[in-house]
Amino acid sequence: MTQAPPASGLSAATLDALLSTRGKDLPPPRIGDPRKSADLISFMSGFPDPASLPAQQVAEATARAMEKDGRWALQYGATMGYTGLVDALLDKLGRHQGIRAGRENVLITAGGSQAVALTLDLLVDPGDTVLMEEPTWMGFVYALNNLGAKSVGVPVDEHGTDLEALERELKRLTAEGVRPKLIYVIPNFQNPSGVSTTLARRKRIVELAHEYGTLILEDDAYYDLRYEGEWLPPIYTLDEVGQTFYLGTFSKIMGAGMRLGWLVAPPAIIGKLATLKIDGGTNVFGSHVAAEWVPRHLDDHIAKLREIYRRRRDLMLASLARHMPEGTTWTTPEGGFFIWVTFPEGVDTVKMLPQARERGVEFLPGRTCYAQDRGHRFLRLSYSFAEDEQIDDGIRIVGEIARGELLETGRA
Amino acid sequence: MTQAPPASGLSAATLDALLSTRGKDLPPPRIGDPRKSADLISFMSGFPDPASLPAQQVAEATARAMEKDGRWALQYGATMGYTGLVDALLDKLGRHQGIRAGRENVLITAGGSQAVALTLDLLVDPGDTVLMEEPTWMGFVYALNNLGAKSVGVPVDEHGTDLEALERELKRLTAEGVRPKLIYVIPNFQNPSGVSTTLARRKRIVELAHEYGTLILEDDAYYDLRYEGEWLPPIYTLDEVGQTFYLGTFSKIMGAGMRLGWLVAPPAIIGKLATLKIDGGTNVFGSHVAAEWVPRHLDDHIAKLREIYRRRRDLMLASLARHMPEGTTWTTPEGGFFIWVTFPEGVDTVKMLPQARERGVEFLPGRTCYAQDRGHRFLRLSYSFAEDEQIDDGIRIVGEIARGELLETGRA
C-alpha cells in the first residue's frame, strides 16, 4: 500500500526527520481488505460466517433505535460508552460469564482492538516487556511492534498456557530487574491454537500475577462460542484483587462490522483509560443499534452460531483426517474459530501460502502468530468463514501442497 | 470518574509501578457525557443541533445498506475505509472543497479525533514540539498532554493565524535546533475563536511549512457550514508539495454519532498511518450506512443546516449586543459553531461557570482552549446545540453573571 509520493511530493528526507520513534521503519499495512478473501476458499481470518450475520434484524433494530432515541444515537456520546449498551452488556456478562460488574467497571471500545490499544498506551513504554502466549493473536503482536515493546513468549500446550514456562520467565525477568507490564492470555479456544486453559491453570495464572505484581489482559473474544466441554469461568472472576482486565467483543456474536468491544476492569483503571480515550464516544450510532439488538436477539443468535460453527469444525476435522500427510497433527478446539496444524519437519507454511492462493485457498501461516521468525511448520485454519461445501476441497488442496513440499525436501 | 479501587483491590503502588509514561499522572477523564448538557441551556460544546439530525433518513439508509450488502456491512472492514464511503467522500471533496484526490489519499477514521491521534502517533514523541493556534480545539490540547508533547502557541487575530508570530516561533525553534513536528491549524471558523484565515495567509502558511520543513495538520471540520462571505480553498489545495494533512468529519454535517471522519494526505503517509491503525476497519456498519446516505442527502442536509445555524448565530449575536456588559467584545463568525467572547479585565470565566450552571446555563471557559493556565477572560459560546428560544435567555444569564463579577471586582 505504501507508494512513492508524487514527483513533486514531500521528500523522504523531510518526512524521516519528522517521524516519531514508532513512526519510523514501519512495515506496510498488515491488515488489508477482507473482501479480498471473498473469491477464495478462505481459512485465513477470524471473520464471522457471512450468511449468519443478522442484517435484517440490525435494520429493524436501527429503525427502533432511531425512532426511540435518534437525537442521541446521532450525537456525540459518553466516553465510557452508551449506557443503554453498557447495561445490556452487564446483563449478558452476568448471565453468561458470571461476571458481576457495574457501569463503573466497563469501557465500550471500538472492537477488542481499541481495548488492547488503550491498555498498551496506559501501561507500556517503548522497551518495556510484556508476557504473552506464543503463538498468539497477530493483532497483539503488531500492536507491540508498533509500540517498540519487547515480548516474552510463553508456550501453549493442550491444557493452555504453559505455567512452568510462565513462572520461569517471571522469575528470570524479576532476577533481571524487569517487571513485565502485563500477561496477555486467551484462555478460551486460544487464537490461534484453539486450546483452552484449564481451571486449575487459570487460578494459578492469577496467583502468579499477584505474586509478581503484574496485570493480566484476558482476551475472551470467543467465550460464548463453546461447542462442547465444560464452561470455564473467566480469569477475571477468579481474581479477587482486581489485577485482571477482561476484554470481549460483539464481533463474533453479533457482527464484526459493528466494531464494538469492551473492557471490564477496576474503576480506577477504567477512569485512566477514559482519559486516554479521546474519541467523542465509541460508535454511538452502532451502540444504540446494538443496545436494541442485544436484549432481543443475542442469546438466540449465539445458539444458532454454535450450531453453525460446531458443524464447520467437525467438517474440517474430518477433512484434515482425510487429506493431511502422515505425521501431521492438529488441535481439536472445544469452541472458537481455529484449528492449529503442525506439519512434519520440512514444511514451510509461509512458502505454501502463494501456492495455496494460486489454487484458490488461503490460510494463516503460523509465522504470523510469533514475534520472532518462528513457527514455519505451523498454520492456523479458521473454519468460520468458508462455506460448508468449500471445506473439504480447501483442506484437500492444503494437504496436497504440504505433501508436495515434503516430497520436494525428500521427507515423504 | 476516577474512583478508589475496592478495599480488596489492586494496590496503588502496584499500579503505579506498571503505568507507562503517558499513563502516569493522568487527570480525570475530561470529556464526559453529552446528555448532561440536555437539561441546561448549553452553549458549551460543538454538538450538532439535535432536532436536525436525520434519524429517519439514517434508518432508511440502514435498511438499504443491509439489503444491498449486509454481509459486508457487518463484517470486518478494510483498514483504509469502506470503498463505497471513500468514493462518496472523494466526490464530495471534489465538488465542495475542490480537492482532487484518489482512494490512495484517503483514510476513513473514527471521527476527526482518530485522525488526530494517528497523526500524532506517527510524528510525535514525548518531548517533541508542535505548533498550534492558541486558543485551539481542546481535544488537540488533551491529546498533546496525554502524549507528553510540548506545544508552542501562535495567536489568532481577526484574519486568522497570526503569521508574524508563526514565523517568529519557527525561526526561534530552528535557532534552538528544534524542528516542530507539525503546525495544527483550523482555517475556517476556527474552534474556538470563530475567525477564518485569509487566502493570503493560507498561502503563506504553506510557504512557511516548506521553508522550515514541517507538516501542516489542517482541521477543517466546519468547511461546509459557511453562512456568509467568500468560500476559501483549503490549505491542502494550495500545497503542491504535499506537506499538508487534511482532516474532516461527518460529525457536523451528518451526525456526530456516526463517528466517521477522514484524513487526506499523500499515499506514503496514508500507508504509514494504516500500519498504525489496527482497528479491524473504522465503524464498518456506520460506513455502509453513510455511503447510502451521503450521495442521496448530504447536499440538501448541508443547505438546511446552513439555514439553522445562520439563524442561531444571528440570534446569539443580537442577544450578545443586548446583554453583555460594556467593554465586552466578541467575534462574528462567517460559519461554524462558535463565538469567542472577550470580557473586560476582572472577569474569570472559570469562576463564572459554576454560577452559570446553577442558573441552568453552560459555556466553555476560554482556559480550556489553552495549553497553559491562560485565557480566563475569554469564553467560547456554541450556538449549535441550544434551541432558538433558549438563546436569548441563556445569553442574558451569562451577561448578568459577568456583570456581577465586574461589580465584585469593582470594575463596573
pLDDT score of A394: 98
A110 part of contact set with chain B, CB < 8 Å: yes
B211 part of contact set with chain A, CB < 8 Å: no
Q: Which residues in chain B have Cβ-Cβ distances shorter than 8 Å to A34?
A: 72, 75-78, 281
CA atoms of A111 and A109, how far apart (whole Å): 6
CA atoms of A398 and A380, how far apart (whole Å): 12
Give helix then strand counts, H and E, for chain A: 12, 14
pLDDT band at A231, cuts 50/70/90?
very high
8 Å CB contact between B47 and B256: yes
Number of CB pairs < 8 Å for A and B?
A: 375
DSSP structure string for A138-163: HHHHHHHHHHT-EEEEEEEETTEE-H
pLDDT score of A30: 75
pTM of this structure: 0.96
Write out pLDDT tens, residues A241-252: 999 999 999 999
B286–A286 CB contact, under 8 Å: yes
8 Å CB contact between B222 and B188: yes
A321 part of contact set with chain B, CB < 8 Å: no
B238 part of contact set with chain A, CB < 8 Å: no
Over residues A145-168, the mean pLDDT reads 97
Number of other residues whose CB lies within 10 A of the CB of residue B370? 18
Q: List, in order, residues 6 or more apart from B60 with CB less than 8 Å away.
A: none
| Percent share of chain B, pLDDT over 70 | 97
CA atoms of A402 and A356, how far apart (whole Å): 10
A282 part of contact set with chain B, CB < 8 Å: yes
CA atoms of A93 and A100, how far apart (whole Å): 7
Number of other residues whose CB lies within 10 A of the CB of residue A3? 11
* Rg over CA atoms, chain A: 22
pLDDT of A6 higher than 70:
no
Secondary structure class of A270 (helix, strand, coil): helix
Sheet holding A150-157, edge to edge: A106-109, A261-264, A244-249, A215-219, A182-185, A129-134, A150-157, A160-161
> Which residue in chain A is spatially nearest to B61 when comparing CA positions?
A59
Say yes or no: domain A72-297 is CATH 3.40.640.10.
yes
Task: List the single residue in A73, A123, A240 with the smallest CB-CB distance to B23.
Answer: A123
CA atoms of B23 and B9, how far apart (whole Å): 19
Task: List the single residue in B20, B72, B284 with the smallest CB-CB distance to A123.
Answer: B20
Task: List the single residue in B58, B113, B122 with the smallest CB-CB distance to A66.
Answer: B58
Q: How close does chain A come to B81, measured CA to CA in Å?
A: 9
Q: Which residues in chain B have Cβ-Cβ distances shorter than 8 Å to A182?
A: 18
pLDDT score of A408: 86
Number of other residues whose CB lies within 10 A of the CB of residue A14? 17
pLDDT band at A123, cuts 50/70/90?
very high
Q: Which residues in chain A have Cβ-Cβ distances shorter than 8 Å to B6?
A: 242, 266
Residues of chain B with pLDDT under 50: 1-8
Residue B210: C-alpha distances to residues A23, A72, B165, B185, B241 (Å): 21, 43, 17, 15, 8
Nearest to B139 by CA among B53, B29, B246, B38: B29
Burial B33-67 (b: 16+ CB within 10 A, else e): bbeebeebbbbbbbbbbbebbbbebbbbbbbbbbe
3-state helix, strand, coil in chain A (%, to 5): 50, 15, 40
Task: List the single residue in B26, B30, B55 with the smallest CB-CB distance to A70.
Answer: B55
DSSP structure string for B216-272: EEEE-TTTT-B-SS-----HHHH-SS--EEEEEESIIIIIGGG--EEEE--HHHHHH
B37 part of contact set with chain A, CB < 8 Å: no
B5–A32 CB contact, under 8 Å: no
Over residues A37-46, the mean pLDDT reads 93
Q: How close does chain B come to A352, measured CA to CA in Å?
A: 25
CA atoms of A251 and A173, how far apart (whole Å): 35
Query: Which residues sit opposite A341 in a β-bridge?
Result: A330, A379
pLDDT score of B4: 38
Class at the top of the CATH hierarchy for domain B12-54+301-408: alpha beta
B54 part of contact set with chain A, CB < 8 Å: yes
B283–A259 CB contact, under 8 Å: yes
A74–B53 CB contact, under 8 Å: yes
pLDDT score of B12: 84
8 Å CB contact between A151 and A130: yes
CA atoms of A268 and A274, how far apart (whole Å): 10
Looking at A197-325, which runs of residues are DSSP E strands? 215-219, 244-249, 261-264
Q: List, in order, residues 6 or more apart from B323 with CB less than 8 Å away.
A: B392, B395, B396, B398, B399, B400
* Residue ranges covered by each domain of chain B: 12-54+301-408, 78-297
B182: left (phi over 0), alpha (psi -120 to 50) or beta: beta
Secondary structure class of A233 (helix, strand, coil): coil
Write out pLDDT tens, residues A327-365: 999 999 999 999 999 999 989 999 999 999 999 999 999
Over residues A213-233, the mean pLDDT reads 98
The secondary structure element, H or E, covering residue A308 is helix A284-323
Q: Which residues in chain B have Cβ-Cβ distances shorter than 8 Å to A66?
A: 55-56, 58-59
Q: Which of residues 139-158 of B touch A (CB under 8 A)?
A: 139, 142-143, 146
Interface test with B, best of A8, A15, A211, A243 (most B CBs within 10 A): A15
A47 DSSP 8-state letter: P
Q: Which residues in chain A have Cβ-Cβ distances shorter than 8 Å to B47?
A: 75-76
CA atoms of B264 and B101, how far apart (whole Å): 8
Write out pLDDT tens, residues A130-153: 999 999 999 999 999 999 999 999
**Greater confidence, A6 or A128?**
A128
Task: List the single residue in B14, B21, B259 with the smallest CB-CB distance to A213.
Answer: B14
Q: Which residues in chain A have Cβ-Cβ distances shorter than 8 Å to B5?
A: 242, 266-268
Torsion of Cα atoms, A13 then A19 then A22 then A23, to 10°: -70
Nearest to A192 by CA among A339, A319, A34: A339
pLDDT score of A31: 66
Q: Which residues in chain A have Cβ-Cβ distances shorter than 8 Å to B3?
A: 104, 267-268, 271
8 Å CB contact between A197 and A333: no
8 Å CB contact between A5 and A14: no
8 Å CB contact between A390 and A330: no
The secondary structure element, H or E, covering residue A185 is strand A182-185
Nearest to A169 by CA among A205, A197, A139, A138: A205
φ, ψ (nearest 5 deg) of residue B365: -60, 140
pLDDT of A33 higher than 90:
no
Angle subtended at Cα B75 by Cα B71 and Cα B79, rounded to the nearest 5 degrees: 130
B73–A80 CB contact, under 8 Å: no
Owner of C-alpha cell 433558549: B390
Class at the top of the CATH hierarchy for domain B78-297: alpha beta
A87 part of contact set with chain B, CB < 8 Å: no
Task: List the single residue in A10, A77, A257 with the smallest CB-CB distance to B75.
Answer: A257
Residue type for position B59 = A
A29–B271 CB contact, under 8 Å: yes
Nearest to B26 by CA among A268, A193, A390, A129: A268
Over residues A96-103, the mean pLDDT reads 97
B75–A33 CB contact, under 8 Å: no
pLDDT score of B31: 66
A72–B35 CB contact, under 8 Å: yes
Secondary structure class of B340 (helix, strand, coil): strand
The secondary structure element, H or E, covering residue A187 is none
Pairing between β-strand A182-185 and β-strand A129-134 as defined by DSSP bridges:
parallel
H helical segments located in B254-368: 267-276, 284-323, 349-358
Residue type for position A116 = V
A211 part of contact set with chain B, CB < 8 Å: no
A409 part of contact set with chain B, CB < 8 Å: no
Task: List the single residue in A20, A258, A284 with the smallest CB-CB distance to B74.
Answer: A258
